[in-house]
Amino acid sequence: KKLIYTFNEGHIENKHLLGGKGANLAEMTHLGLPVPQGFTITTECCMNYLADTAFFEKPLKAEVLKAIQTLESETGKSFTSDENILLVSVRSGAAFSMPGMMDTILNLGLNDLRVQSFATLTNMNFAFDCYRRLLQMFGDVVYGIHKEQFNVLLHQTESRLNKKVTAFTEEEHLDVIELYKNLFFKNKVAFPQDPMEQLFEATKAVFKSWNNQRAKVYRNLHHIPHHLGTAVNVQSMVFGNSGDESGTGVVFTRNPSEGENKLFGEFLINAQGEDVVAGIRTPEPIESLQAILPEVYHDFIEYSNKLEQHYKDMQDIEFTIENGKLYILQTRNGKRTAKATLKIALDLAAEGLISKKEAIMRVSPEVIDQLIHPVFDTKKLATAEAFATGLPASPGAATGSIVFTAEKAKEYTALGKKVILVRQETSPEDIEGMVVSEAIVTSRGGMTSHAAVVARGMGTCCVAGCEALTVNETAKTILCGNHTLTEGDIISVDGSTGSLYLGEIPAIVPENDQSLQQLLTWADECAELKVRANAETLQDLQTAIDFGATGIGLARTEHMFFGDERVLEMRRLILAKDEQEVQFALNKLLDFQQEDFYQMLKTVQDKPMVIRLLDPPMHEFLPHDTHEIKILAEQLNRYPSSVEKQIEKLQETNPMLGHRGCRLGITEPLIYQMQVKAIFNSAIQLAKEGLTVSPEVMVPLISEKEELDYVKNFLTETIEATFKEHQIEPFPYEIGTMIELPRACIIADQLAENADFFSFGTNDLTQMTFGFSRDDIGKFINIYKEKEIMKQDPFQVLDQSGVGELIKLAVGKARQTKENMMIGICGEVGGNPESIAFFQQIGIDYVSCSPYRIPAARLAVAQAVL
């Protein structure tokens, strides 16, 4: 098996072996771009080494030696001799990009001797700059000595000598190197002088960095498997820190925040590696390069166009200029905000680079979720006082308590508080705190700083480089003009404008935006599954329709029985002593519900609306404490003791498995009769007003064919009678059932004989199939996940092998009886993309989900086809 590929041998198809960085370095080499030569040690080697460290001695070591020899002859330089010095970088790179999560070491190969000859070859300052950087990165990555400790030593020396490092004499440089080496010594390690030894240790350290804490957290967050490993790229160095015609930079080929087709990036003259993102000096915008090094700029434009055309996507490019010559060191599909994702996908399609279908696939449903997320209420914003403004690094609107550390962020959120993480600059160690924060604010760093990049990836609101803030992380204070803020103070952060506000500002959901409409229209053209909404309040119904629901898949009616006035009538009905009382209560309820249905149907108009008849257990409507019972007794003009006895009789041990759903409809047919009467009275009224309405009446919790036959029979009678009463020609309507019990799935062929439609209630079906109470699963699901007994909460993502199989069986049986029966899914998983893909496969007609999940679901149903 091949352990190492040179960039010339590598191929983009081998991304799983070469990692993203390695595969793209190979691809760019084939494209003829100026890439410093090198080789990639595969991800498999990483996993082999992590499983058994002996793998390194044999067989890997010999292969690395060979690869170095090849690199030496390719470059005509030497990695070990003191002449014509070859230095390399050792760069991590997994198959899925994990920016900054694993480690890289630059300038490998320098030592006490070679730095001298390197200085004669180039210049002294530069040579020692490289050597110091090597010692620092090596100490940090290989031995875990924090970077900052080296900086402290350097700064101390600078102050002691009262001059900048760039003005040091050779002796003074050597002094600093001595201090650095002492730091190694204090940590009971030594910096290896042998370049090969350096390379071996660095490689092992990069392998190990696959398992560092922040990389693990990042993988969990982005659902990247833990068994993939990282590749190690060994690449000959080019030096951006070798003078005024040298430099380094990072550029996105399009704006990663807004998506516009314009280069977006920064560079620093006379700088190396991560100087740009580390926010040490303030970088310049890429456009300025045109004036400073016009030829380099010209070349850069050519390469960046070439890369975008080749990858057919926005690229995030790292480059280095060495003495006026441009090198490309990395390219990858750039991370971007939700807004930019959408714009870039649509633009690329318009430019003819990708097809409509590809554009649909480029946008994930989660992106859509972010696009419809809140922004601050503009009216409230107008009166709010912005106390500082930074860079609008990642859009969104958030309010929360200030915290200064990742630990505090976790601590606060564990208590249910919303937090805003405020730091000078974030580093990969902060990842856990960033995940739980509503927003991230930094006082330093640019649009490509760590905070900005990570926040955009997570869809978290972020304001970066807010320089007006003096953030003191130890004292836990922020000074800004005449404001002093401390931990726990509430601020609001606008990631779209970069403004920070004192106190809370209410947020609202943005209007449906045009580009989103465009994409979703394309999605609708491809989709087979329809998307309906679970909604019953007028506002939710309207939102659902605005978001493009093709109908209502589940309108519950419970709410029509609650509220002081209504629940009293329901209670009167349940506890009624005589026929007269029953009729009184029913008439009242009928009036209420008729008005409700009228408004609901009018909102939905000609779109189908599934209305579910009353479902919850009886006891939910009854009072339980003595005081409330006393009041009720008074209202009903009865003795409290008699009411109490009656209520006691209605108690159930297991209400969710008790007297509910159609069981209630069978024992108390008057309630269901009243409900359909209310539905059809209002439907007929609307028909008379000239509207077409299509109510679909759904009977819950059926487990037996006879139950459905019985209920459907009296419902039909009532509906027909209602049409007669109004002297109107009956219009089409349907009576179907909710399939939410395992038994109903098994006898679906029988149920289909008398049902006009099916809708799977996946919440109850999951509950009844697992025997997990939906209300109690929270107590153990996290432990189940930790112990890897279950991967996901089955109430959020369909359990395909259990509940899914039952649904599949039921669909098959139902279609045997009635080939074209309408079959839908309502319940939480109806809006989950992964579950949607399964529903597409088994021939469901529509999914139904809550209104805010509709845009994402419209996209997911299209992606399920493509």
Site residues (vs ligand ADP, CB under 6 A): 36, 89, 91, 100, 104, 106, 235, 237-238, 273-274, 318, 320, 329-330
Partner whose footprint covers residue 750, from ligand ADP, Mg ion, none (CB < 5 to 8 Å by kind): none
What character string, x for contact with Mg ion (CB under 5 A) and - otherwise, covers 740-759? x-------------------
Partner whose footprint covers residue 707, from ligand ADP, Mg ion, none (CB < 5 to 8 Å by kind): none
Smallest gap from residue 89 Cβ to ligand ADP (A):
3
Smallest gap from residue 615 Cβ to Mg ion (A):
6
Measured from the Cβ of residue 141, the count of other Cβ atoms closer than 10 Å reads: 22
Closer to ligand ADP by Cβ: residue 235 or 499? 235
Strand, coil or helix: what is 424?
Answer: coil
Closer to ligand ADP by Cβ: residue 198 or 330? 330
Q: Which of 761, 804, 827, 855 binds Mg ion (CB under 5 A)?
A: 761
Closer to Mg ion by Cβ: residue 707 or 740? 740
Which tokens in the block code for residue 830?
């109806």
Interface with Mg ion, residue 330, by CB under 5 A: yes
Burial of 477 (0-12, 13-18, 19+ CB in 10 A): middle
Which tokens in the block code for residue 507?
């947020």
Closer to Mg ion by Cβ: residue 39 or 168? 39
Partner whose footprint covers residue 242, from Mg ion, ligand ADP, none (CB < 5 to 8 Å by kind): none
Smallest gap from residue 119 Cβ to ligand ADP (A):
19
Smallest gap from residue 179 Cβ to ligand ADP (A):
24
The backbone torsions φ and ψ at residue 315, rounded to the nearest 5 degrees and listed phi first, read: -105, 150
DSSP 634-681: HHHT--HHHHHHHHHHH--SSGGGSS-THHHHHH-HHHHHHHHHHHHH
Rounded Cα distance, 67 and 582, in Å: 90
Q: Which of 764, 793, 799, 845 binds Mg ion (CB under 5 A)?
A: 764
Closer to Mg ion by Cβ: residue 585 or 741? 741
Closer to ligand ADP by Cβ: residue 89 or 442? 89
Closer to ligand ADP by Cβ: residue 103 or 828? 103
CA 411 to chain centre: 22
Nearest to 741 by CA among 705, 697, 715: 705
Rounded Cα distance, 41 and 234, in Å: 8
Smallest gap from residue 94 Cβ to Mg ion (A):
12
Rounded Cα distance, 554 and 329, in Å: 54
Q: Which residue among the candidates 46, 373, 450, 462 is catalytic per the annotation? A: 450
What character string, x for contact with Mg ion (CB under 5 A) and - otherwise, covers 442-471? ------------------------------
Smallest gap from residue 596 Cβ to Mg ion (A):
20
From the list 253-261, 322-330, 630-638, 807-815, the region that binds Mg ion by CB under 5 A is 322-330
Rounded Cα distance, 441 and 452, in Å: 9
Partner whose footprint covers residue 91, from ligand ADP, Mg ion, none (CB < 5 to 8 Å by kind): ligand ADP
CB 199 within 8 A of CB 64: yes
Interface with Mg ion, residue 103, by CB under 5 A: no
Closer to ligand ADP by Cβ: residue 209 or 593? 209
Partner whose footprint covers residue 761, from ligand ADP, Mg ion, none (CB < 5 to 8 Å by kind): Mg ion
Smallest gap from residue 837 Cβ to ligand ADP (A):
32
Q: At what angle do helices 564-575 and 626-636 cross, to 10 degrees?
A: 80
Closer to Mg ion by Cβ: residue 481 or 771? 771
DSSP 88-134: EEEEEEESS--TTTS-EEEEET--HHHHHHHHHHS-HHHHHHHHHHH
Closer to Mg ion by Cβ: residue 275 or 740? 740
Q: Is residue 227 flagged as an active site residue?
A: no
Cα-trace Rg, the chain: 34
How many chain residues bind Mg ion (CB under 5 A)? 5
Which tokens in the block code for residue 10?
């590598």
From the list 196-204, 311-319, 463-471, 783-791, the region that binds Mg ion by CB under 5 A is 311-319
Rounded Cα distance, 206 and 227, in Å: 15
Rounded Cα distance, 399 and 490, in Å: 7
Partner whose footprint covers residue 273, from ligand ADP, Mg ion, none (CB < 5 to 8 Å by kind): ligand ADP
What character string, x for contact with Mg ion (CB under 5 A) and - otherwise, covers 527-556? ------------------------------
Which residue's beta carbon is nearest to the bound Mg ion? Answer: 764
Q: Which residues contact 254 (CB under 8 A, 6 or more apart)?
A: 260, 261, 262, 263, 264, 314, 334, 336, 340, 344, 347
Smallest gap from residue 412 Cβ to Mg ion (A):
33
Partner whose footprint covers residue 341, from ligand ADP, Mg ion, none (CB < 5 to 8 Å by kind): none
Smallest gap from residue 165 Cβ to ligand ADP (A):
20
Partner whose footprint covers residue 238, from ligand ADP, Mg ion, none (CB < 5 to 8 Å by kind): ligand ADP
Nearest to 707 by CA among 735, 679, 730: 735
Binding residues among 701-740 for Mg ion as defined by CB under 5 A:
740
Smallest gap from residue 680 Cβ to Mg ion (A):
24
Distance of CA 529 to CAs 532, 562, 683, 837, Å?
A: 10, 34, 27, 10
CB 668 within 8 A of CB 706: no
Q: Which residue among the candidates 130, 662, 826, 849 is catalytic per the annotation? A: 826
Partner whose footprint covers residue 466, from ligand ADP, Mg ion, none (CB < 5 to 8 Å by kind): none
Query: What letter would DSSP give residue 153?
Result: H
Name the E strands within 382-449. 386-389, 391-394, 397-403, 419-423, 439-442
Nearest to 95 by CA among 222, 235, 2, 230: 230
Smallest gap from residue 596 Cβ to ligand ADP (A):
58
User: How, if at all, do strands 694-699 and 734-739 pair?
Assistant: parallel
Closer to ligand ADP by Cβ: residue 91 or 336? 91
CB 752 within 8 A of CB 814: yes
Q: Is residue 130 flagged as an active site residue?
A: no
How many residues are there in the chain?
A: 866
User: Which residues of the shown chain bind Mg ion in the complex (CB under 5 A)?
Assistant: 318, 330, 740, 761, 764
Active site positions, annotated:
450, 826
